[in-house]
Amino acid sequence: MTSKFLRLSLAAAALITISALAQTTPDAPSSAAATKPADTPAAAPAGTTVATGGGTKVGTININDAIIGSNEGRRDMEALSKKFEPKQTELKAQNDELESLKKQLSTQGDKLNEDAAATLKRQIETKQKSFDRTYQDFQEEAGNQQQEIAGRVLQKMAPLIVKYAQENGFGVIVDTSKVWPQSPVLWWAEKVDITKPIVDAYNVQSGVPAPPPAGTAKPATTKPAPGAGAAKPPAQKPAEPPK
């Protein structure tokens, strides 16, 4: 469930943070050489202008992907996801119990007497309300903490976006985190997307190493008993890419 929250909508925050920096940062010299950013897969169009420089080119950046794709953002989001694992387990157990009661009512409802059916319905209603409240609280808490992480990373990333735009002749950088038709932008060339070079620059600046792939197991440090055959390691689930 936590993965649903990882796609944060930060266009407004990006607009305020980066535009303010762009207005106070001197334009880069017009002779600055244009650096071709590495190609990245096309993102969902949005259209929010998040930075302005002294050039004439229009560039794009997916703020969500930049934050979550950075080593620091990914590390902190994964730590947050791990923190919420017990709550997710609790919610799953509540949901499983609720679904079991609903199935019981669906399959046996016509066989129950009036009092038993009414009791089962009240039980389902009570548990449904409890689950809905718990899940809503979980959504709020997880969402708030993810926004805090994203805002902290964005505050440090914003100057890099402005600097990169000014040094590479971009006059406008558009956030592509949202999906059309929420944005007027229909299409753009991958070569104008600066998400990857910004992530790379931020990783260097932050000094945070890349988190290990999910599911990576540490090698055993104990020696097998004499005469024991080598134990076959359990099959591991392939690591999932950051969301």
The series of mean pLDDT values per 10 residues for the chain, 243 residues long, is 41 46 44 34 42 75 95 96 96 96 89 90 95 96 96 96 94 89 83 96 95 61 42 42 42
β partners of residue 49: 174
Residue 214's pLDDT is: 65
| Residue spans per domain, the chain | 2-206
pTM: 0.65
Please give the Cα distance from 87 to 1 (Å, whole number): 10
Beta strands 48-52 and 170-175, pairing class: antiparallel
Residue 134's pLDDT is: 95
81 three-class SS: helix
Phi, psi angle pair for 10, to nearest 5°: -115, 20
